[in-house]
């Protein structure tokens, strides 16, 4: 199972169980921060607040419900976990629905990229949001803004000139 999980995430695995508690474990690439593109944003749940998880944005305060906690990068694999045996297991139908709801409604496709771009551009919000999700228009606008910032204002009709004006 270890080899299969490593193939699915493209490298060494790291368990991530803060979203759903100990009965559902997400596996991600251990080196994802340096090697994998942003996938999904993780927003703090009520349970994370009650457990006293520290904000990953400042490491000084307890995370607030709905606040960005972290960004998962690369492929994500969800499996059931039996804390009594310490073994992975199949997800139940209810757990499949729970994971599916979270990664379609709360942490929608594109949320990781949108949050990474917002942080990079200094537009990261401080206030928790109640409604999550990213529209394709918002994602396209954020990508265009990032591209413009990286290109230094260069456009096809106005190429960047060197210091000597050529």
Helix (H, G, I), strand (E, B) or coil at 93: helix
Question: For 14-45, what is each residue's pLDDT tens digit?
Answer: 999 889 888 999 999 998 777 899 999 999 98
**What pairs with residue 16 in β-bridges?**
26
Q: Domain total for the chain?
A: 1
Question: For 90-126, what is each residue's pLDDT tens digit?
Answer: 999 999 999 999 999 999 999 999 999 998 888 765 5
Q: How many residues does the chain have?
A: 166
- Asked if pLDDT for residue 131 goes beyond 50, the answer is no
SS3 content of the chain, % helix, strand, coil (to 5): 35, 20, 45
Q: What is the pLDDT of residue 126?
A: 53
In a domain? residue 159? no
Give CA–CA dist 71/111, Å, rounded: 9
Q: Provide the residue range defining the domain that includes 102.
A: 2-151
Give CA–CA dist 105/111, Å, rounded: 10
Q: What is the mean pLDDT of residues 143-149?
A: 60
Q: What is the pLDDT of residue 148?
A: 63
In a domain? residue 161? no
In a domain? residue 163? no
- Asked if pLDDT for residue 130 goes beyond 50, the answer is no
Q: What is the pLDDT of residue 121?
A: 86
In a domain? residue 114? yes
């Amino acid at each position: 199972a270890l080899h299969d999980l490593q193939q699915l995430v493209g490298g060494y695995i790291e368990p991530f169980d803060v979203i759903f508690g100990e009965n559902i474990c997400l596996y991600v690439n251990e080196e994802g921060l340096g090697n994998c593109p942003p996938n999904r944003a993780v927003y703090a749940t009520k349970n994370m607040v009650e457990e006293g998880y520290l904000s990953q944005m400042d490491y000084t305060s307890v995370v607030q419900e709905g606040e960005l906690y972290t960004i998962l990068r690369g492929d994500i694999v969800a499996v059931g976990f039996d804390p009594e045996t310490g073994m992975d297991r199949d997800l139940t139908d209810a757990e499949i629905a729970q994971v599916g709801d979270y990664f379609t409604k709360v942490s929608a496709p594109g949320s990781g990229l949108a949050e990474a771009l917002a942080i990079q551009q200094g537009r990261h919000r401080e206030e928790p949001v109640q409604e999550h999700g990213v529209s394709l228009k918002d994602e396209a606008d954020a990508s265009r803004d990032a591209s413009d910032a990286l290109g230094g204002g260069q456009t096809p009709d106005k190429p960047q000139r060197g210091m000597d004006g050529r």
